Structure 1
Amino acid sequence: MKKDIKIPEVKDVYVAAVKEFNKEFQADEWNVYLINNGEKDLEMVLIVSKGFDKKRETSLMRHKLEKLPSKTFAKIEFVQDEVLELNNEFKVSYFMDSKMYDKKFSFKKHSIKETSLGEIPIIPLKGVLAE
């Protein structure tokens, strides 16, 4: 039955970790963003995230966006420094043109760091793209 369900390939959608200065706390922090670099809006976006390694696992975090317009981005969550030591996974599901899309984005442990910063789509800051 699973083989009969066709889920289209995700294109032009990214998850990126961006280091930003928080004026309120006067500190740098890592935030994760969902980026829609496509020509169409994403609807009913569901995101489930977790951090894990062989010994530890964080609680599941669930996020929902009613709509992510074309060529925009949205902050998903703040990531604490302790969680950067873990593998971080973001499962993203959404609808576009009445079809469901689904993809798992991953950051390997210790991959979110300043030496890994690079250009990312749409956001005018440097960041680290998930695989």
Structure 2
Amino acid sequence: MKKDIVIPEVTGIEMAVVLEHNETHNTDDWYVYLINKKEVALDMIMIVSQGFSETKTTTVFRKKIHQLGANSFAKIEMIHPDVFGLSNRFQVSFFEGNQIQEKTFVFQANTIKEGALRMVPSLNKRGIVIK
């Protein structure tokens, strides 16, 4: 039975953490984006995020996106620099057509920092990307 279960490799989606200017508060804030580089839309997207280390965990955050169009992106959440010392996990589940898929992205502890920022062409902003 187990040999009959096919778990597809998920490609074409990325997570990015971006430092951008917040005009309302006149501050530079960090935001998490989900990037869909596929030629098809993703449906019923559920993102579950949590920061963790050997001794600490943050509250679990959940976000649902009804649909994310082909070759597009969505801003998921603001992320506070206080959790950059933790590993930050984002579990993304979605439907592509009639098939459910899942991918986990982990920004390792202390990897989110200004010195690591690179241009993210999909967003036209500087950030850190995990594929």
Alignment correspondent of 1:93: 93
Alignment correspondent of 1:22: 22
SS of residue paired to 2:120: coil
Alignment correspondent of 2:43: 43
Q: Which amino acid aligns with 2:92?
A: V
1:3: Cα distance to partner?
4.9
Alignment correspondent of 1:103: 103
Q: Contact 1:35–1:74 at 8 Å: present in 2 too? A: yes
For structure 2, the 5+ residue unaligned runs are none
Q: Contact 1:86–1:108 at 8 Å: present in 2 too? A: yes
SS of residue paired to 1:46: strand
| CA offset digits 1:21-70 (Å, max 9, x no partner) | 11111111110000001100000101100001111100100010110000
Alignment correspondent of 1:52: 52
Alignment correspondent of 2:80: 80
For structure 1, the 5+ residue unaligned runs are none
Aligned residues: 131
Given the two structures, how large is their TM-score scaled by the length of structure 1? 0.94
1:71: Cα distance to partner?
0.9
Q: Contact 1:22–1:28 at 8 Å: present in 2 too? A: yes
For 2:118 and 2:42, the matched residues in 1 are separated by 25
1:2: Cα distance to partner?
5.3
SS of residue paired to 1:126: strand
